[in-house]
Amino acid sequence: MVLTRSTKELYEEYTSHMKKIADVRHAAAVLQWDEETYLPPKGASFRGQQMATLSEIAHEWSIDPKLGDLMTELKGRGDLDEPGGKNISLSLEDYTRQKKFTPAFIRLLSETTSRCFHTWIKARKDNSFTIFRDDLDKMIQLKKQEAEMAGYEQHPYNALLDQYERGCTVTLLDNVFNLVREPLKDLLHRIQARPSIDDSFLHRTYPKQKQWDFGMEVIRHLGFDFEAGRQDISEHPFTTSFNKFDVRITTRIDEQDFSNMAWSCIHETGHALYEQGLPDQYYGLPLGEYASLSIHESQSRLWENNVGRSLDWWRHWYPILLTYFPGQLEGVSVEQFYQGINKVKASLIRTEADEVSYHFHVMIRYELEKSLIEGSLSVNDIPSYWNQRYADYLGVRVPDDKQGCLQDVHWSHGSLGYFPTYSLGSFYAAQLFATAGEQAPSIQSAVQQGDTAPLLHWLREHVHQHGRRYTSEELCRHATGQTLDIQYFLHYLLDKYKKIYKF
């Protein structure tokens, strides 16, 4: 059948199949978005079932042998145009990877995930790792099995890393973290030796509606297209996309903590600007998808930190902020405000960490996961390992599991190998931001006027438009002329905090 048909026909069948998978996946994403924003409480149980059914359909279609045959034939023919060839080659990689797992394994993983998530909720509620231990152990065993099924070179953890970040390995991450660990420790110590910064003004009462209005004004000015997206409130901020013309972000508002909303808005806007900049002609195909998790995170971090925590940008925005909160910020200069929002404080919770200490949180999880997967650490030892590392790296005492090894949802979802992409995101962000400034000095001067359009334009051209054409490292080389160079990040941090903490 396949052999007698033209390449054009076969390619159209492939794109049509892929678009339908995307339709179903995005429908599931709409249901997920709704669950986290507007779902009435009693609706949750049937909603879970409805999403599971959609996921099943998408999974079945993505491992349909007819799709495999089609792609193999197309690849073999070798007469597709360049984007077509790239799409087929990436889709075939995904397909081949998926096919390595038996349906029985997928089902087991899905059941374990569901159970693990509920046990984690309970363990956190009761503040006891012991409750989570056995199910987590089963999950780790399954993840080891997954690594064997997927195949790997050198280290089983590579198989898991590769899921989230094509080509990412233990070797690469060890190198990167070895390069940052000591300089960051040193920076942290130098900061800790200086007087603490006063950020109490961030904890005065900031009324909800005013915070929301300010956030919306910022988002709009950063270039978020409200004709092709929206913002809502949810318990945990997130970005989701149903296609580049419907990208949704959420935020949360704490009246006693201005930071909570402000930088979550900017962070999620960074993710959203990437999604709104992906090429729509490749909807459902690899070239229409984001490059990798670390590149996605580089976009959120770049806007949140390199822009949204810079003095340049606030010189424009602070006077505007003052019109929203004249009382709360009375007597606070833009310099004091800038110092306050960049206060460094080694603490227990990753998601609340500053730009310096954040990466120790990630390193601890990376080292821990690697040891669990290679078998040098057992699940029983997680709390003591965790608490020891927090003492070593950050000098903080972990008072209980809830504020310790139970704080993140990731393991309960089976997401092992995910955390490193958070740090890689910051590292890529620094390199991309510095390069943009070097290539087009006008970008920096525009930011000082509050105009980030030239920066967005640069990112659209050098990052967004390429979809999944390149791996993270290829994209980095393409955009900056070299692969990841950690010195950009270290230089950025050192330069910034030297000035803030005056050493």
Give the binding site for a second copy (CB under 8 A).
Answer: 19-20, 23-24, 26-28, 30-31, 34, 38-43, 45-47, 49-54, 57, 225-230, 232, 242-243, 245-246, 283
No. of helices (H) and no. of strands (E), the chain: 20, 3
Residues with Cβ within 8 Å of residue 251, at least 6 apart in sequence: 215, 231, 233, 234, 237, 261, 264, 265, 268
CB of 46 to a second copy, least distance (A): 4
CB closer to a second copy, 26 vs 469: 26
CA angle 416, 270, 433 (to 5 degrees): 95
Q: Determine the Cα–Cα distance for residues 397 and 194; give it in Å rounded to an integer.
A: 21
Nearer to a second copy, 228 or 322 (CB): 228
Residue 497 Cβ, how far from a second copy at the closest point, in Å? 39
- SS3 per-residue string spanning 170-231: HHHHHHHHHHHHHHHHHHHHHHHCCCCCCCHHHHCCCCHHHHHHHHHHHHHHHCCCHHHEEE
Coil, strand or helix at 38: coil
Q: Choose the catalytic residue: 146, 165, 268, 297.
A: 268
Contact 63, 103 (CB under 8 A): no
Q: How far is the CB of 245 from a second copy (least distance, A)?
A: 4
Distance CA 287, CA 284 (A): 8
When the beta carbons of 40 and 327 are compared against a second copy, the nearer one is 40
Q: Which is nearer to a second copy, 151 or 207 (CB)?
A: 207
User: Residue 96 contacts by C-beta under 8 Å, 6 or more apart in sequence?
Assistant: none
CB of 227 to a second copy, least distance (A): 5
Read off the tokens for 160. Answer: 């898991």
Q: What residues contact residue 59 under an 8 Å CB cut-off, 6+ apart?
A: 98, 106
- Closest CB to a second copy among 38 and 503? 38
> Residue 63 CA to chain centroid, in angstroms?
26
Q: How far is the CB of 401 from a second copy (least distance, A)?
A: 32
- Closer residue to a second copy, CB minimum distance, 26 or 389: 26
Closest CB to a second copy among residues 210, 230: 230
3 Ramachandran zone, left/alpha/beta (phi>0; psi -120 to 50): alpha
Query: Checking DSSP bridges between strand 229-233 and strand 246-251, what pairing results, if any?
Result: parallel
User: To the nearest whole angstrom, how small is the minimum distance from the Cβ of residue 51 to a second copy?
Assistant: 8
Nearest distance, CB of residue 228 and a second copy, angstroms = 4
Do 152 and 158 form a contact (C-beta atoms < 8 A)? yes
Among this protein's residues, is 304 annotated catalytic? no
Q: Give the number of other CB atoms < 10 A from CB of residue 450.
A: 17
Q: Which active-site residues does the annotation give? A: 268
